[in-house]
Structure 1
Amino acid sequence: MHVIRTTASRHSHRTAAAFQQYVTGRRTDVAGAVFFLEASDHLDAVCRIAARGDVVVAPSPADPRGGATGAGGVPVVGYSGSWREPGDEIRLDGRHTFALQDYVALPFLSITGRVVVRQRTAKGIAAFLGDADTARYFGVLVSPLLSSAVMLDSGASFGRPRSADDALARVHVTADGEYRDGADGLLLGRVGDARSEIEKTGAADGGRGRGFARIVDRELLEAELDRRPWFESYLAAIGVLRRGSLPARSIDLLASEPGRV
């Protein structure tokens, strides 16, 4: 019984880590890439190009629990539900439930469960940058952003890649068969492309704004971020505040001193 419980716990941890890596674009303890499929039609094709250490997240009416695998022994995390529009909800492995929301609506949300907040439009990006300015200069925060139940989609795309390994941390596979860096991110290829081609595209076109390439002009976003050299420190401070390590009033101090967090 203890062995079964330990195995289930490890699988649950892997599922949570894989989903976090897919959402944020930041490397977790998943060794490879996380492929998130909107439709199960592409499961076999994705499993064929998956490498050792990858995890595939795919729709499954059966919502499998435990160590499900695809072709070639690739770990497959099944999910039920939908994951496209604000208000959608998915359940991973029958254990982990997340709701999807729009960043513009975040200040008005009552957080009652785990939520992923996606920018979705240029308006969402502008709102996020504007909220950062307000926090930086006036110390006023969007309080739901500080909840440990909230994950910010594509947060890594506001900063520069930390290593070459981040070039292919996640791949969002659309129902139409596109490979993208996140739902609204850089086009990496299409189903049928070789793994090497996807990796080459990912390595050649990294950097800021990558996760928002479909919804915003990346050069304009780069310029906006250049105007805010404290922005990565702001994001780090948000993480610290979510862990309860500092009082919320410290956000202006942390944001004004890059490198402190």
Structure 2
Amino acid sequence: MNEQDTTAARDALAAVVRLSSGLVPWQGSHGPVVFLESAGHLEFGLGLRGAEGVVFSPGDPGTEEGVLGYEGGLAEPGDEFLAADTLFVYTQDYLATPFLAVAGPTIVRIGSAADYSGFLEDADLARAKGTFVEQLLHPGVFLADQCALGSAHPCPGTYRLHVSASGEVRTAPGGRVLGTVTSQVPFDAGDEPCLAEVVEPEVLRRERARRPWLSRYLRAVEVLRDLRAAGRHGYTVSGFGHRLTPGLPVELDEPADAPLLLWNDEEHLVCDLVRERVFRVGADAAKLVELLLTGGSPARACELAATHLGLDAATTADALDVLTGKLAGTALPVTGAAA
């Protein structure tokens, strides 16, 4: 594969992941991604994508800029998708995940109530035991519709759109119908648009409320997958079956958007995936980070440090001030540590 083909395949995969995952990019300028099941709706799709968007249209895309031709599909389990002549993407249902033999980029979809129940069971296991589904950590596996699954993942709304062969417009294959290609009004995603035809919106809201840590679980899967892609393994995630600080309860809930603390035998990492920042810290500093995450404030972290680490308030406050500078730009509550 030459460099041009490699770049085209990489860009196409990035667009597929944005389209499928429902994740909103933190940085960079990206327009909407529109997936058309019928080339007959190409003119309509071009009107949706804006100046910087991407349209996937079946067959030969011609010379229209921002239009990528494809074969196959991305909606149903077993679908195979080919774009840019070199990118193959597979689609599987969630319950098949533990049995996946990953041969290339794979989109894993919640396609039924049973799939959703399986997802919740796996999330609960990770929370209680620190055991993650191995296949979800593969660098080539991407979980779809995370905006509907996570407690704090913002929905991209009409930033991604799926247009069926019959002309129905949704945010995702399992989402509710927003309108059709003949609609005369702007599309409004509204509330719970992305899995509404698969799981009742009331059920999604109820289960997220019961598990305020679901977005942290999804981000833990993401960071572990990214580390695997870089050849780094064996990490434990604070709050998922384990704590670094002796005696600190696992069941404490960190803020949903706060960074994750991970460690293995070689390093301790503070990973802020919302802001796309990663810091390496020492073991002692990592424990203070954990106390900040679980305590929610420097003052509470000082109290926890006295209980679990035997540190006096002045020593802890000084150490937190150092962390303030090192971890600037993350969502950690590290300001005012000496107050």
Preserved contact between residue 17 and residue 30 of structure 1 (Cα < 8 Å): no
Secondary structure of 1:210 counterpart = coil
For residues 98 and 176 of structure 1, the distance between their equivalents in structure 2, rounded to whole angstroms, comes to 23
The answer on 1:50 being equivalent to 2:49 is yes
For residues 124 and 229 of structure 1, the distance between their equivalents in structure 2, rounded to whole angstroms, comes to 20
Preserved contact between residue 94 and residue 119 of structure 2 (Cα < 8 Å): yes
Question: Hey, what does 1:187 align to over in structure 2?
Answer: 177
Q: How far does residue 246 in structure 1 lie from its aligned partner after superposition?
A: 6.3
Alpha-carbon spacing, 1:161–1:225, altered in 2? closer, same or farther (3 Å): closer
Deviations 1:5-55 (A, max 9, x none): 56x665444322211110111234452110011122211222234321121
Q: Moved runs in structure 1, 4+ residues, more than 6 A?
A: none
Match of 1:240 among 195, 216, 223: 223
Match of 2:125 among 127, 134, 138: 134
Identity in percent: 31
Q: How far does residue 141 in structure 1 lie from its aligned partner after superposition?
A: 1.9
Give runs of aligned pairs for residues 1-261 of structure 1, distance below 5 A.
5=3, 11-28=8-25, 29=28, 31-60=30-59, 62=60, 68-69=63-64, 75-159=66-150, 160=152, 162=154, 166-194=156-184, 197-198=186-187, 201-202=188-189, 205-206=190-191, 209-244=192-227, 247-250=234-237, 251-253=240-242, 257-258=253-254, 259-261=258-260
Name stretches of at least 5 consecutive residues in structure 2 with no aligned partner: 244-249, 261-339
Secondary structure of 2:56 counterpart = strand
Asked which structure has the greater CA Rg, the reply is 2
Question: Hey, what does 2:300 align to over in structure 1?
Answer: none
User: Which segment drifts farther, 154-163 or 133-142?
Assistant: 154-163
Write the letter of the residue equivalent to 1:32: G
Q: How far does residue 260 in structure 1 lie from its aligned partner after superposition?
A: 3.1
Deviations 1:191-231 (A, max 9, x none): 1224x511xx12xx14xx43211111111211111000111
TM-score, normalized by length of structure 1? Answer: 0.82
Alpha-carbon spacing, 1:10–1:85, altered in 2? closer, same or farther (3 Å): closer
For residues 260 and 161 of structure 1, the distance between their equivalents in structure 2, rounded to whole angstroms, comes to 14
Secondary structure of 1:212 counterpart = coil
Alpha-carbon spacing, 1:31–1:184, altered in 2? closer, same or farther (3 Å): same
For residues 3 and 106 of structure 2, the distance between their equivalents in structure 1, rounded to whole angstroms, comes to 27
Name stretches of at least 5 consecutive residues in structure 1 with no aligned partner: none
Deviations 1:75-111 (A, max 9, x none): 1011112334322211111121111111011111221
Write the letter of the residue equivalent to 1:182: A
How many pairs align? 240
Considering Cα pairs closer than 8 Å and 6+ residues apart, tell me whether 1 or 2 has the greater RCO: 1
TM-score, normalized by length of structure 2? Answer: 0.64
Higher helix share: 1
